[in-house]
Structure 1
């Protein structure tokens, strides 16, 4: 008979309850309390990390949900943080070719070193079907949804000093699993991030930096209406839409040492969306 495991006084089976203590996580697109970025930053803070929240309020102000109160956003994340951890916010326009480098320099100046980069930001709107999409729309989505993430990864590597724990997480949108009607520019740019993951992961492996990409699936960040839910409910095996915490748990776990053997992967976390037989509306 095997020996019984000792009584666990430090998390589950000896797991550190603060596996990101002493590390800093930069999360882009984290300016709204209802968004995935805020959920990622809050969970990273609860894991012991210092967190830098990137935002660009002019983008949010142009959306129907509007911009959030940044002081409230920061305070919300701070409530999850350890006493000695830093929680800060930085504004940057990632459509600007120089925006990613400026953001990384500013973040490193705030916290000394960025250990984990999560590219959660995306351009909302300014899209169309094949018959209507314009060159300007294609360029706009490429600039924000793909180019800026690649340049952020470049800037991350330039400030990384080789210490353990380096990790980058890109975001994609599952466009290879099913169509995104009317979103040609967005789908193309997000597909680029999934497509480049293995190449960047290979380049950075010698530096000890892991690179993975996550498809968060359909997540209600404030845009889901009753009519929309009735239309798509049969496609959700668990009878509910995604919540910001759902992808956040995977993304933050990928930043911990528990995921030290995972790199170059594109991972879907979408509750089986659209995979199984249709269900009746909830």
Structure 2
């Protein structure tokens, strides 16, 4: 793909708070391909998780990129998705694509542990915010511009059972199933909608035993990396993928949780 294949495109990348994770890798790749990037983060969420926050991450990432701004917003708030679109338009005038990489995960609840509060919060962040972001993005999109793109993120729940993570997999399964309906609705306007499953991804969250187990199970004998995911996202945003829509694509080396 050409280095400048996304020149003049403006892309929002959500969930880009940690420099070693998927959102940051996607932002770097899109910037290298010529895009202006709106880097979204919400560090308080990371601070609550076992992997911790990257306190300087978003600002340092923006400093790496040619044309980029940082927006910190809690996407569990109902008005946050529209506010993110507004902030992006204020910075660059328009938004051509959204990569909805943000997620709430890491709170493991099986059926016996399940709580209404965790279900509501996980759906608010993963599903509701993504749908409202799609709505606000589509409402402002200039259909005369090329490159309208919406990329959602799911997980591996359709490959194998994840009984200890019910709020997470339920919210991600919803995005998986929404993809085709959103795609059919938006393709007449020149906006494609696709969904990415990045597979077990090496973003610093796993302990040594988990890393070894997944490496053994993966047919390619390694983990997915943020760069693997970023390459797929960059292609989906490119003009080469303008006839690819409604698809859920795994970038996982053939992984199956068995």
Q: In the comparison of the two structures, how many residue pairs are matched?
A: 257
TM-score between the two structures when normalised by the length of structure 1: 0.87
Shift of 1:275: 7.5
Higher helix share: 2
- How far apart, CA to CA, are the structure 1 residues paired with 2:198 and 2:184? 23
- How far apart, CA to CA, are the structure 1 residues paired with 2:59 and 2:6? 19
The equivalent residue for 1:189 is 171
CA contact (8 A) 1:217 1:269 kept: yes
Question: Structure 1 residues 221 and 275 mapped into 2: Cα distance closer, same or farther (>3 Å)?
Answer: closer
Shift of 1:77: 5.0
SS at match of 1:95: coil
The equivalent residue for 1:274 is 256
Pair 1:157 & 2:138 matched: yes
SS at match of 2:37: strand
The equivalent residue for 1:118 is 99
Picking from 54, 79, 95, the partner of 2:64 is: 79
Pair 1:139 & 2:120 matched: yes
When Rg is computed on C-alpha atoms for both structures, the one with the higher figure is 1
Alignment RMSD (CA, Å): 1.6
List runs of 5+ in structure 1 lacking aligned partners. 1-14, 277-282
**What does residue range 234-245 of structure 1 map to in structure 2 within 5 Å?**
234-245=216-227
- How far apart, CA to CA, are the structure 2 residues paired with 1:16 and 1:252? 11
- How far apart, CA to CA, are the structure 1 residues paired with 2:2 and 2:107? 44
CA contact (8 A) 2:159 2:257 kept: no
Pair 1:221 & 2:207 matched: no
- How far apart, CA to CA, are the structure 1 residues paired with 2:92 and 2:19? 22
List runs of 5+ in structure 2 lacking aligned partners. none
TM-score between the two structures when normalised by the length of structure 2: 0.95
- How far apart, CA to CA, are the structure 1 residues paired with 2:208 and 2:107? 24
Picking from 40, 43, 56, the partner of 2:29 is: 43
- How far apart, CA to CA, are the structure 2 residues paired with 1:76 and 1:103? 18
